[in-house]
Amino acid sequence: MIDNKRILTILRTHHLSQTALGKMFKLSHSKMSKVMAGEQTLPANAVGTLIQEFDIHPKWLFGFIGDPDEVMYLKDLVSKAELEKRDKEIQELRYELGEAYKQLAEERKGK
């Protein structure tokens, strides 16, 4: 089930009204109100539309990851290769920092 707080975040982020979202999903005002009140769930086709139209990350939408107050999009994903590259850069910077500390310690010893 999708937490209606996440739907509210999408509405706020995209400057949409509950009525406009209901029209996008082809849901009646009554049905959309019940969804927002937590009395009913969004139909599967509405969930699919939400993910596809707004490029929303499904794991965020279903509450598995991320902050409910900040929409997470599929484009926000970072590839494994990019993560490995960044991790390597971090390791190199740590090594350089360690070397700088060693040099500083040796200079202080010499004084």
Same domain, 13 and 50: yes
Same domain, 11 and 57: yes
- In order, the DSSP letters of 91-107 are HHHHHHHHHHHHHHHHH
Helix/strand/coil for 56: strand
Length of the chain: 111
Query: Domain range holding 40?
Result: 4-75
Q: What is the pLDDT of residues 52-102, one digit of tens each?
A: 999 999 999 999 998 999 999 988 877 677 788 899 999 999 999 999 999
Q: What is the pTM of this model?
A: 0.68
